[in-house]
Amino acid sequence: MAGENVEPQQGAVTRLGEIRDRMGRAEADAGREPGSVTLVCVSKTFDAEVIRPVIVAGQRVFGENRVQEALGKWPALRAETPGIELHLIGPLQSNKAREAVQFFDVIETVDRDKIAVALAKEIAAVGRAPKLYVQVNTGAEPQKAGILPEQADDFIAYCRNDLKLDVSGLMCIPPVEEQAAPHFALLNKIAARNGIKILSMGMSGDFEIAIELGATHVRVGSAIFGAR
Ligand SMILES: *Cc1c(COP(=O)(O)O)cnc(C)c1O
């Protein structure tokens, strides 16, 4: 594999380039505008020293799954480089809602009434409004976060109409043991009928299929930073 004979950090930069190339080919194959899909580089579990070279190489959009971990490493990295965009891609507890609203640019995991209410309250209190995506549990897996597909329309309407939240995207994580394509297609359908333009779907193993099925954001971690 490319990068095996170089420093781990340099390996990440090499692999970032490879992922960007593959995204470009997937965009072209799907007849989509070059550069129209945003790479959310998933840096969870990796330290600032590993992330920094990827920022130096030009990457600006990153995903973290834990509020506390992100608060530990990102303030310094953000101070070094302007224009970093941070996405929260892991489950959010309502007692972390304030910190999440203060710190993240995008919260991709809005998935239940309680967290939506907490976010609405904190957005009003803090005076800062991150972009919000609703996470849909497309595989209806009991252990997985996300609103059920059949409840998605009502939940989006509740966020918009009752809480005045601006839901701009949808996110999903398909079941690991299934083909991802039907899940991506389902998310696309829910987005279309709700007038939602942003689709965060596709990870290291399936981002090209996601781009073919309309992803505007792909979340890629291990294919860039290596195994966690
Ligand atoms: C970890 C994670 C990813 C990245 O997964 P890889 O397979 O490492 O690319 C994407 N999305 C979410 C929600 C994650 O938690």
Instruction: State the CATH number of the domain containing residue 213.
Output: 3.20.20.10
Relative to the CA of 65, which ligand 1 atom is closest? 15
In this structure, the residues whose C-beta lies within 6 A of any atom of ligand 1 are 42, 44, 65, 89-90, 173, 203-204, 219-223
**Mean pLDDT, the chain, integer:** 96
The proportion of the chain whose per-residue pLDDT surpasses 90, expressed as a percent, equals 96
Please check whether residue 67 lies inside any domain of the structure: yes
Please check whether residue 36 lies inside any domain of the structure: yes
Relative to the CA of 109, which ligand 1 atom is closest? 13
Q: Which pLDDT does position 10 carry in this prediction? A: 73
Q: Is residue 15 within 8 Å of 50, Cβ to Cβ?
A: no
* Domain tally, the chain: 1
Please check whether residue 3 lies inside any domain of the structure: no
Best CA proximity match to 172, nearest among 205, 139, 143, 126: 139
pLDDT tens per residue, range 14-67: 999 999 999 999 999 999 999 999 999 999 999 999 999 999 999 999 999 999
Domain of residue 205: give its range. 8-225
Please check whether residue 1 lies inside any domain of the structure: no
More confidently predicted of 10 and 202: 202
Q: Taking 90 as the threshold, does the pLDDT of residue 7 lie above it?
A: no
Please check whether residue 110 lies inside any domain of the structure: yes
Please check whether residue 104 lies inside any domain of the structure: yes
Q: Is residue 183 within 8 Å of 53, Cβ to Cβ?
A: no
**Helix ranges restricted to H, 30-96:** 48-56, 67-80
Please check whether residue 2 lies inside any domain of the structure: no
Best of 18, 39, 65 for a ligand 1 pocket test (most atoms within 8 Å of beta carbon): 65
Residue 86, phi then psi, degrees to nearest 5: -105, 130
More confidently predicted of 6 and 79: 79
Over residues 79-98, mean pLDDT: 97
Q: Taking 70 as the threshold, does the pLDDT of residue 204 lie above it?
A: yes
Over residues 159-184, mean pLDDT: 98
pTM surpassing 0.85? yes
